[in-house]
Chains A and B, each alone.
Chain A
Amino acid sequence: MARKILLVDDEAGFTQLLKMNLEKSGDFEVTIENDSTRAVSTARSFLPDIVLLDVVMPGMDGGDVQAQFQSSPELRNVPVIMLTALVDSAELSDGAVAQSGSSIVLPKPVDLDLLLRVIDEATAVI
């Protein structure tokens, strides 16, 4: 059965190409949400196996989205991979990423092979 991935990122071009790559590389069903304020409602209806979440977004940042996932019973256990183009290590350790409690953070530009491995590991645990 295809694993379901939710991409939450305000960069429409990025999500479009990542979706194409993921769908070409494995048996994935990918849904895109470019508006972070709708991430939780989209996730509730899509029920993803894993979420790839951007950090710096207008509306709600990745940390806020992650916190909403945590407080939602049906999403609490969905693994989240944070993708970030942040370059400042202090921002990574002090900012939304650290607050989110997400254990998996991958830098942008994304190494696709690494991302696929991380998705495999994270979804295998479930």
Chain B
Amino acid sequence: MEPLTLVESVLDNLPVAVFAKDANDDFRFVLWNKKQEEITTVKASRALGRDDYALFSEESADYFRSVDKAVLKAGRLLKVPEEIIEGKNGQDIHLRTVKIPVIEEETGRRLVVGISEDITEQVRSRAQLESLNKNLVDANKELQETQLQLIQAEKLESIGRLAAGVAHEVKNPLALLLLGVDYLSNGIDPDDPNVDTILAQMRSAVDRADRIVRGLVDFSSQRSLSREPVQLYTVIDEVLLLVKHELTRSNTSVEVSIPRDLPHVFLDLSKFEQVVINLVINAVHAMSESERPCLEIRARSESLRDVVKNQGARRYEVFRSGDHVVILELVDNGCGIDNNDATRLFDPFFTTKATGVGTGLGLSVARKIVQLHGGELHVGDREDAKGAIAKLILPTKVDTGKVGLSSKTAK
């Protein structure tokens, strides 16, 4: 067996196209293996002795020639990551090519040797993958938009439910203001000791009404998620102002124990208020039959320990051991959670309330909002007594990687 035959045999069985052009003879082809025939659909018998201009379009030939010259000039291997030639039926064929300058020892001929790999399938898969990925990104964006719309819709419903109570809370300072006006409109006696008291009361009534109205406006505004560092007690103060009427009417006593020196948590105030309002109203409804309705709102900071990922209960699923978190708990002494309902609590439209009292979106939206904050919401029966406990675990650091939305989006 002659060495030449071996080389030819190897060349023809290679899974890559190999060709060579003689630079001393107008870049005519002197080598053209089987794979090159297959890719270009040009037989070796036709290609050998001819140049690119005889085989390909002028535009392609110009390009090949310019690369060939560059290879010779550089005197070293040149990689062409992707080039396109016209294949059978005018279809584009994508090639990854390396071109090598070679000087033949015996003859001194300068050759350009090319090795091409057909990457058409890879390019096609990549394009498909990019297109799929774009669809996925679009769908995800749409999903986030829809989630925000759902959150806003649920919020509007809460506002509707709170409106009468908030109006009541505003009417009280208004009533006080009118009494002040009545008193003062009959003429002001500079020696009357009541005047100072009345003016002070009127001022504080205006402040109070303003705070309530502002609280409601802040609560109803903002569609996108926008987080800022806050102290948890300020959120609870705002929420209690908005639900004061509901608490008073239901004769619910509230015990708040939230340390003032907790680490800051990063919250979208309006959306987080929505969560707490939801949980408070749920507790009030659950305690409607309780003799002494009592809602305890407490918070603490803690460093998580023994967090096991993917546990059956999936507790702390977004957290790791050592994470610093703030835990907010709302504990009621109501009817607790029926065993049959426990697994469906967070299902959208699931409600145990009478028609018209709730849509069943509250808890599912509340959990979604908490998740958008990189936190967790768990609801269950309390262990020490009858009643339910809602537990919110909130990160004390912003980690946008855990969150579906960026921490600051346009307002």
Question: Do the two shown chains form a genuine complex with each other?
Answer: yes
Q: Which of A27-35, A70-78, A97-105, A106-114 contacts B (4 or more CB under 8 A)?
A: A106-114
Contact with A along B170-184 (1 / 0, CB 8 A): 011011111110110
Measured CA separation A50–B249 after assembly (Å): 24
Interface residue A120 (Cβ < 8 Å from any Cβ of B): no
* A-binding segment of B23-31, B197-205, B357-365, B367-375: B197-205
The residue on B at minimum CB distance from A83 is B175
Bound: A88/B164 CA distance, A? 7
Residues of the A chain whose Cβ atoms lie less than 8 Å from the Cβ of B198: 17, 20
Indicate whether B352 reaches chain A with its CB closer than 8 angstroms: no
**Is residue A85 contacting chain B, with contact meaning CB distance below 8 A?**
yes
Nearest Cβ on chain B to A94's Cβ, whole angstroms: 13
Chain B residues with Cβ below 8 Å from A91 are 164
- Is A56 an interface residue when CB atoms closer than 8 A count as contact? yes
In angstroms, how far is the closest chain A Cβ from the Cβ of B212?
Answer: 12
CB-contacts of A58-97 with B (<8 A):
58-61, 85-88, 91
Nearest to B189 among chain A residues (CB) is A24
Question: How far does the alpha carbon of A16 sit from the alpha carbon of B196 in the complex, in Å?
Answer: 13
Q: Are B248 and A56 in contact (CB under 8 A)?
A: yes
Say whether A56 contacts B175, CB under 8 Å: no
Task: Assess whether A13 is in contact with B176, with CB atoms less than 8 Å apart.
Answer: yes
Would you give the 0/1 interface string for B263-296, flagging 1 where the beta carbon is closer than 8 Å to chain A?
Answer: 0000000000000000000000000000000000
State whether A87 touches B164 (Cβ < 8 A). yes
Interface of B is mostly: helix
Contact residues in B for A57 (Cβ distance below 8 Å): 248
Q: Are B168 and A21 in contact (CB under 8 A)?
A: no
A46 contacts the other chain (Cβ, under 8 Å)?
no
The reply on B194 being an interface residue by CB < 8 A is: yes
Chain B's nearest CB lies how many Å from the CB of A42? Answer: 20
> Do B175 and A109 touch (CB < 8 A)?
yes
Taking the nearest CB of chain B, how far is it from the CB of A88, in angstroms? 5
Contact A24/B175 with A17-B180, A56-B248, A56-B249 known, Cβ cut-off 8 Å: no
Known: A20-B198, A109-B177. A58 touches B172 (CB 8 A): no
Assembled-state Cα–Cα distance A28/B198 (Å): 19
A97 to B178, CA, bound (A): 23
How far is it, in angstroms, between the C-alpha of A121 and the C-alpha of B351 when the chains are bound? 50
Which chain A residues border B253 with CB–CB below 8 Å?
58
Give, as a whole number of angstroms, the nearest-CB distance from B164 to chain A: 5
Interface assignment of B251: CB less than 8 Å from any CB of chain A: yes
Interface centre among B168, B179, B194 (most CB of A within 10 A): B179
B171/A109 in contact, CB under 8 A: yes
Say whether, besides A17-B183, A87-B164, A109 and B178 are in contact (CB < 8 Å): yes
What 1/0 flags go to B241-253 for Cβ under 8 Å of A? 0000101110101
Least distance between A108 CB and chain B CB atoms (Å): 4
> Which of B167, B172, B197, B247 has a CB less than 8 Å from the CB of A14?
B172
Closest to B182 in A: A112
Give bound CA distance, A116 to B248, whole Å. Answer: 28
Contacts of B164 in A (CB 8 A): 86-88, 91
19 interchain pairs (CB within 8 A)?
Answer: A11-B176, A14-B172, A16-B197, A16-B201, A17-B201, A24-B194, A56-B168, A56-B249, A57-B248, A61-B249, A85-B168, A86-B168, A87-B164, A91-B164, A108-B171, A109-B171, A110-B175, A112-B178, A112-B179
Mark B residues whose CB is within 8 Å of A.
164, 167-168, 171-172, 174-180, 182-183, 186, 194, 197-198, 201, 204-205, 245, 247-249, 251, 253
Interface residues in chain A, defined as those with a beta carbon under 8 Å from any beta carbon in chain B: 10-11, 13-14, 16-18, 20-21, 24, 56-61, 85-88, 91, 108-110, 112
